[in-house]
Structure 1
Amino acid sequence: MHTGIPDFQMPTEDQVTLAAEAFRLLADPTRIKILWALLQGESSVACLAELVGASPTAVSQHLAKLRLAGLVSGRREGTFVHYTANAEHLRPLLAHALAPSGS
């Protein structure tokens, strides 16, 4: 059926599972804000909390889920942890999703 389409490929089950997990995690507005902020550069929980309008406790919980999924990582510096995004591949998706209607 699709044999006539040049270079047609289906993703592997692992790829589909990872993509579904990423989409599930991004189904939360606070996580989208956190990931978008981290795609701009490294940040602490306190700074992220201020940026996204959530408590530091809530931001920490969201970061834990994003970290388990491999979308963010943390770097400890004294008593602070500075987070960065490991999800540069999601930048175009988020940019498209966040674009004003009609763009």
Structure 2
Amino acid sequence: MNAYKQICGLDPSSEFVELSAEVFGILSDPTRIKIILALRKANELSVNALAELVEKKPAAVSQHLARLRMARMASTRQEGTKVLYRLTNEHVVNLVAEAVKQAEHSVANGHTPSHHHRAQA
């Protein structure tokens, strides 16, 4: 039974529960969510390109990217003198996408959110 808990991170007593809370903490900043959504669309971007897309100063975006890198949600690639940022895997995009969908439900006022309409098309 102990081996099952090591394999299944979805068990309430899993060692990953606390780390999962830290993931949500990292994602609790709107600028980081915007960065993740921008990287989802573009795949790789420089700090300056991201700063323009999320309408923040490059220094601020750089700080947010540092947090995402420390959490292993983003990584970098050097291209000449430019550093390009990308998401490490698709899981962070899935988390943000689900959070956005939940947010749509919270303001739907009894209507079906748009993401349900797209799913039916």
Q: Verify same fold: TM over 0.5.
A: yes
Structure ranking higher on relative contact order (CA contacts 8 Å, 6+ apart): 1
Deviations 1:5-58 (A, max 9, x none): xx9x51521x22221111001110000101111122111101000000100000
CA shift in 2, pair 1:44/1:62, >3 Å: same
Query: TM-score w.r.t. structure 1 length?
Result: 0.81
In structure 2, what is the Cα distance between the partners aligned to 1:88 and 1:18? 18
Structure 1 unaligned spans of 5+: 1-6
Query: TM-score w.r.t. structure 2 length?
Result: 0.70
Match of 1:81 in 2: 83
Aligned-residue Cα RMSD (Å) equals 1.8
In structure 2, what is the Cα distance between the partners aligned to 1:58 and 1:91? 21
In structure 2, what is the Cα distance between the partners aligned to 1:85 and 1:17? 22
Match of 1:28 in 2: 29
Question: Which structure has more helix as a fraction of its residues?
Answer: 2
Match of 1:57 in 2: 59
Cα deviation, residue 87, structure 1: 3.7
* Structural mapping, 1:33-52, within 5 Å: 33-40=34-41, 41-52=43-54
How many residues are matched? 95
Structure 2 unaligned spans of 5+: 1-7, 114-121
